[in-house]
Chains A and B, each alone.
Chain A
Amino acid sequence: MVTLAIALVLIFILMRLAPGDPLARLSEDRPLTPAQVVALRARFGLDRPVGAQFVSFVGALAHGDLGTSIQYGRPVIALVSERIPATLLLGGTVLLLNFTVGVWLGVRQASRRGGAEDTALTLLSLSAYATPSFWLGLVLAWLVGVKWHLLPAAGMEDPLLDPAAGWLAHAADVGRHLVLPALTLSIVSIAGTMRYQRSAMLEVLRLPYMVTASAKGLPERAVIWRHAWRNAFFPVLTLFGLWLPILVTGSVFVESVFAWPGLGSLAVGAVGYRDYPLLMGSSLLVAAVVVTASLVSDLAYAFLDPRVRLS
C-alpha cells in the first residue's frame, strides 16, 4: 500500500509537470472557442489549483471513483474495466508461452551445450531478441493476415460472427485473432527467457551433485528436469514479476498494429491526449500489477524453495 501511495503521488506530479494542454486534442476535429475551452476546463476541474485537484482525486479514489476521461467523456473505471480482459488474455497467453516454451528451449539448449542445436537456438534467440516487436507485428500481419489469409490481420473478434453462436465458436474466433499478436510478443520475450534459463541451467549443471545424480544411474531426463531444472528455475521465476508489467504496457505497439483493444493502447492514447484521469487510472492499475506480481513472485519463490522458506 505504501508503494502504491508513493506511485500515486509520483504519477500525479509527473503528469502535471509534463508540458501540453489536456484539451489540445479535443480541438482536432472541431476547433473550440475560448468559451468552450473555459467550460471544459471547469468541467474536468482543470481550472483548479493542482493541490486541490490532487485532494479531490484522492477523495474520489477512496470511493472507487477514478474520474471521467477527458478523451472519451466516460468514467475511467468503466474504460479500464472494458480493456482489462483483452490485456489479461494477451498478456497471459504470452506469459504462458514464455514460461513453457522459453523454459523448455532454454533447458534443452543448456543440456546440449556447444552442440549444433545449442548454436542454432542461440542464433535464433539472439535474432529474435534483437527484433523490434512492432516491426515483427507489421510483417506478420501483412504476411499471414493479408498475403496468405491464414489468420485475421487485426481485431479481437469477427464482428460478423453471429452473437448467438456457441461459446466454442466465439472462443475459436478470439483464439484465431489472438495468434498473431501473441506470437509477435512471444517471439521476443521467449528469446529472453531462453537465454536466462540456459545460463541458470549451466550454473547448476556444473555443480557436484549433478555428477552424483548421473553417477547414481538416473536417466538423463530425470537428471535434467528433476535435479537440475528445479534449482535452475528460481532465477527465471523472478522474471515473472518483471515481465508482467512489461506485457501490460510494453504491448502498446503490438496492440496498435493488431487493433487489439487492450489497456496499453488506451494508456498511450491517454498520454497523447494528456488525459490526466485516464492516465492516472491506467498507471495506477499498472502500479498495482507490478506490486502484486512482485508479491506473487516472492511468494512463489518461498513456496518452491525451502531454503527461502526457512530463512
Chain B
Amino acid sequence: MAAAISAAAAHAQSPDPRSAAVIVTGGEATTPIPTLMEGPAANVANLEVADHLFLRLANLGPELITSGDRSFVPQLAKSWTRRDSVTLAFDLDERAQWHDGVPVTARDVLFTFERARNPAIAPRLAELLRRIASVTAESDRRVVFRFSRPYGEQLYDAVWHVAPLPAHLLEGIPPEQLRQSSFAGNPVGDGPYRWVRSVPGQFIELAANERFFLGRPGIDRLVVRTASDADARMNLVLSREADAMDNILPPLTNLERMAGDKDVRLIPVPSPTLGFLLFNQRDPADTSRPHPILADREVRRAIILSLDRGLLVRAVYGPYGEVPYGPASAILWIRHGTPKPAGLDRAQASRLLSSRGWKDSDGDGVLDRNGLPLRLTLNFPASSAARRQMALLVQQQLRQVGIEVVLQQFEFPLWTEHRNAGRFDIDFSATSQDPSPSGLTQGWSCGGGTNAAHYCSLTVDSLMQVAIGSSDHAREAWHTVLRRIEDDAPAAFMYAPSYVYAVNRRFGNVTIRPESSWLLLWKWTTGAPAARRTAGY
C-alpha cells in the first residue's frame, strides 16, 4: 500500500525537476502588487515576489549606488536622458509586454505613478515619491519626470520604489477595490515570471514568462514556499524539498549544519540589517530632561571604547559580519571608503569616565558619581537570538570597566512599545535599511520619525541635507555625515551582517542581490543532474 502510494506520488512529480526551483522563505507574500504593498503588506516577502512579476524602469547597479544617473541597469526603460537639473526623460523598451501580450506603454507608467503618488491610496509610496513634481508622457514610449528640486537621487526615486502596473487591466477598478479584485488574486505583470497560483500558508507558484524581452528565464517553474520556523526552512533545503533559502539565522551551528551538506552552497550577501546600542539622550523617567548618565557624550564614547565589537560580531556571526562605521549597513554604498571603527581601548575608556567624575568610591566594582552608580538598563527583544547573545557579551565587557548593565528582555511588541516611548537607557536596536542613505534622516536627524533616543545635532541635520542634495560629491558628503555621527556617539554601531543564503549546487550563474534577494533568479541556469530527492516518497 505504502509502495503504491509512493509510486503514485513519485509518478506525479514534475516530469523534469531540473526545470523547477523551490525557494523557501520565512514570510508569506500575500499582496505582491505595486501600490498595494502598504502598511502590513510592505514586507520583504511581498516585495521580493513582486520583483519576479513586475519590472522596474531600471535596477540598481552592482555597487548599489543610488545617487547620480550612471549606476543603474536598464530594465523597462532602455535609456534615459537628463534634460536639466530637475527633468529626466525615459524611453521605454518597445519589446516590453504584459503577460497577456499587451505592450507596455507610457500610459502604464503614468497610471501607476498617479496612484503611487496619491497619499490616500499609497501613503508609504507617496512619501517616498514626494519630490517628484510631475510625470508626463511625450509619446507612447517616452515618459518625462519632473522633480521639485535638484538632488542626487532623482533617478533612484523615479525607477526604484514602484514598478509600473498594467493600466489596461486596472483603469476600470477603483483603487480601494483593487485589493479585493480578481487582479489581486491573479496579478498580470511584465516581469520574468508570471503568476500561476497561490496556496495560502504554503507556497506561491510562478512560471517563466517565455516572451520576456530581456531573455527567457533559465528556470521554467518557480515556487516560493513559506516556513516561518528557521529549522523547518533548513530541513526543507537539506532534505532537497527546497533548493534555496534566505538568511540562515544565528547561532553559527546552523551555518555549520548547512555547510556540512556537500550539495549546498553557502553564499554570503551584504544585508540591509544594522544592529546598534542606542543611547537614550533623555531621562526615561521624564523625557523632558536630559539622561542623567548618557546625555554626556564622553560617557557614550567610553562605552563604545569598552566594547570589543569585532569579537562580539565574530562570536555571533562568525566571518559573516562586520563592525559598521556609523549607521551604515552593508547594503549602503556610502560605507565604502569610511574609516575603521574605533576598537577596544579600555584604558582610554577609563580615562574618559574618570575625567567625567566616575569613580568606584565604594569599591563595589561599579563606578559612581555623587552617589549615582553607573548602572544602565539594556533592552532587547526576545525574538532576536543575535541580540540576546550579544547583549550578554556586552554586559560582561562593560563590567570590566565598572559599568553595570541590567539586561531587560521583552517580547517584541512590548520591546517596541518601550523603545517608542523612550523607556530605556540603552536599546539594542536593529533596522533594515533601504539602499538609499537618505533614509538615515529618519533615525539620526532631530525630527526623524524613528529617532527614539532624541539624538539631535543641527550640524548633522544640515550635513545630511547637503549630502542629499549633492550629486557629484555625494559619497564625500555622506562620509562627513558618518564621521560627525561617530563623533557624537549617539549609538554604538555593533554589527552589519551578511545574510548567508543556501543554494543547491545544481544551479549555475547564481547571483543573489542585496537589495532584493531573488531579483536575478531568472538568470540562473540548471545544468547539473537533478538532485531533488523523491526517495521513499
Residues on A lying within 8 angstroms of B by beta carbon are: 19-22, 24-36, 39-40, 43, 69-74, 79, 82-83, 86, 138, 141-142, 145-146, 148-163, 165-166, 168-170, 172-173, 175-176, 256-259, 261, 265-266, 269, 272-274
Q: Is the pair A269, B14 in contact by a Cβ cutoff of 8 Å?
A: no
- Complex interface: stretch among B220-228, B299-307, B468-476: B220-228
Q: Which of A27, A149, A161, A261 contacts B9 (CB 8 A)?
A: A161
Complex Cα spacing A148 to B240, Å: 12
A36-B127, A257-B229 provided; 17 other pairs, C-beta below 8 A?
Answer: A19-B414, A31-B432, A73-B40, A148-B536, A154-B236, A159-B202, A159-B205, A160-B17, A160-B532, A166-B8, A166-B12, A170-B12, A176-B537, A256-B232, A259-B232, A261-B200, A265-B228
14 pairs of residues in contact across A and B, judged by CB atoms under 8 Å: A20-B412, A27-B416, A31-B450, A36-B123, A72-B40, A79-B200, A83-B200, A146-B235, A150-B537, A151-B537, A153-B238, A256-B228, A259-B232, A259-B236
A261 to B232, CA, bound (A): 12
Residues of B within 8 A of A150 (CB): 536-537
Residue of A with least CB distance to B22? A159
CA distance A24 to B231 in the complex (A): 25
Bound CA span A280–B106, Å: 46
| A168 CA / B442 CA spacing, docked (Å) | 55
Note all chain B residues with C-beta closer than 8 A to A153. Answer: 232, 235-236, 238-239, 241
Question: How far, in whole Å, are A21 and B241 apart by their CA atoms in the complex?
Answer: 37
Q: Considering only CB atoms, which chain A residue lies closest to B449 in the complex?
A: A33
Return the chain B residue nearest A82 by Cβ.
Answer: B200
Is B201 interfacial (CB 8 A cutoff)?
Answer: yes
Supposing A33-B127, A86-B201, A272-B411 touch, asked if A141 and B228 sit within 8 A by C-beta, the answer is no
Q: Is B203 close to A, CB under 8 A?
A: yes
Contacts of A151 in B (CB 8 A): 536-537
Among B223, B416, B535, point to the contact of A159 (Cβ < 8 A): B223
Interface string of B413-438 (1 = CB under 8 A from A): 11111001000000000011010000
- A-binding segment of B41-49, B315-323, B502-510: B41-49
* A21–B412 alpha-carbon span in the complex (Å): 9
B76-100 residues at the A interface, CB under 8 angstroms: none
Whether the Cβ atoms of B239 and A145 lie closer than 8 Å is yes
- Interface size class for chain B? 35 or more
Q: What are the residues of chain B within 8 A of A22 when measuring CB–CB? A: 413
With contacts A29-B432, A159-B223, A169-B9 known, is A24 near B417, CB below 8 A?
yes
Identify A160's interface contact among B13, B39, B232, B411, CB under 8 A: B13
Q: Does B432 lie within 8 Å of A157, measured CB to CB?
A: no
Q: Which residues of A contact B124 (CB under 8 A)?
A: 30, 36
Cα A152 to Cα B17 in complex, Å, equals 16
> B356 on the interface (CB 8 Å rule)?
no
Residue from B197, B231, B449 whose CB has the most chain A CB atoms within 10 Å: B231
**Contact (Cβ within 8 A) A20 B30:** no
Question: B9 to A158, Cβ gap below 8 A?
Answer: yes
Given contacts A151-B536, A172-B9, contact A146 B239 (CB under 8 A): yes
Asked if A169 contacts B199 (CB within 8 A), the reply is no
List the B side residues contacting A160 at CB < 8 Å: 13-14, 17, 20, 22, 221, 223, 532
Query: CA–CA, A36 to B128, complex, Å?
Result: 12
Across-interface contacts of A86 in B (CB, < 8 A)? 201
CA distance A156 to B30 in the complex (A): 18
Given that A160-B13, A176-B9, A272-B413 are contacting pairs, would A152 and B241 also be in contact in the complex, using a CB cutoff of 8 Å?
yes
- Residues of B with C-beta under 8 A to A142: 235
The answer to whether the Cβ of B5 comes within 8 Å of any Cβ in the partner chain is: yes
Q: Is the CB of A259 within 8 A of B5?
A: no
Task: Fill in one digit per residue for B95-129: 1 if any A CB lies within 8 Å of its CB, else 0.
Answer: 00000000000000000000000000001100100
- A269 CB contacts on chain B under 8 angstroms: 228
| Pair A168/B8 contact, Cβ less than 8 Å | yes
Q: What's the least CB distance linking B181 to chain A, in Å?
A: 13
Please give me the 8 A-B residue pairs with the lowest Cβ-Cβ distance, nearest first: A20-B413, A261-B201, A24-B416, A165-B12, A259-B227, A33-B449, A169-B12, A153-B235
Give bound CA distance, A170 to B416, whole Å.
Answer: 44
Q: Give A227 to B31 CA distance when docked, in angstroms.
A: 60
Say yes or no for B186: interface residue by CB 8 A criterion. no
Residues from chain A with Cβ under 8 Å of B449 in the complex: 31-35
Nearest-Cβ distance from residue A153 to partner chain B, whole angstroms: 4
CA–CA, A39 to B124, complex, Å? Answer: 10
Q: Contacts of B236 on A, CB cut-off 8 Å?
A: 153-155, 259
**Chain A residues, CB < 8 A from B39:** 26, 36, 39-40, 43, 73
Asked if B443 is an interface residue, CB under 8 A from chain A, the answer is: yes
Let me know if A35 and B123 touch, CB within 8 A: yes
Q: Interface 1/0s, chain B 207-251, versus A by CB < 8 A? A: 000000000000001010111110110011011110000000000
Min Cβ gap A181→B in Å is 11
Given contacts A31-B442, A142-B235, A172-B5, contact A21 B416 (CB under 8 A): yes
| CB-defined contacts of A39 to chain B, threshold 8 Å | 39, 123
B232 A29 Cβ-Cβ under 8 A: no
- Of A40, A72, A83, A163, the residue contacting B197 (CB under 8 A) is A163
**Could you say which of B20, B235, B411 has the most chain A C-beta atoms within 10 Å of its C-beta?**
B235
Q: Which of A19, A26, A155, A162 contacts B241 (CB 8 A)?
A: A155
Interfacial chain A residues near B127, Cβ < 8 Å = 33, 35-36
A161→B13 contact, CB < 8 A: yes
Contact (Cβ within 8 A) A20 B411: yes
- Contact yes or no, B239 A30, CB < 8 A: no
Q: Which residues of B contact A176 (CB under 8 A)?
A: 5-6, 9, 537
Q: Please report the C-alpha to C-alpha distance between residue A179 and residue B449 in the assembled complex, in whole angstroms.
A: 49
Residues of B within 8 Å of A256, CB to CB, are 228-229, 232
B533 contacts partner chain A, Cβ-Cβ < 8 Å:
yes
Tell me, in angstroms, the Cα distance from A83 to B201 when the chains sit together. 8
A215 to chain B, nearest CB (A): 43
Chain B contacts of A32 at CB under 8 A? 449-450
Task: Give the complex CA separation of A83 and B200 in angstroms.
Answer: 8
Q: B11 on the interface (CB 8 Å rule)?
A: yes
Give complex CA distance A82, B28 in Å: 14
The residues of B that contact A149 with a CB separation of less than 8 Å are 239-240, 533, 535-536
Which of A24, A29, A74, A152 touches B44 (beta carbons < 8 Å)?
A29
User: Which residues of chain A have C-beta atoms less than 8 A from B22's C-beta?
Assistant: 159-160
**Residues of B contacting A261 with CB < 8 Å?**
200-202, 226
Contacts of A152 in B (CB 8 A): 239, 241, 537
Least CB distance, B509 to chain A, in whole angstroms: 22
Q: Are A73 and B41 in contact (CB under 8 A)?
A: yes
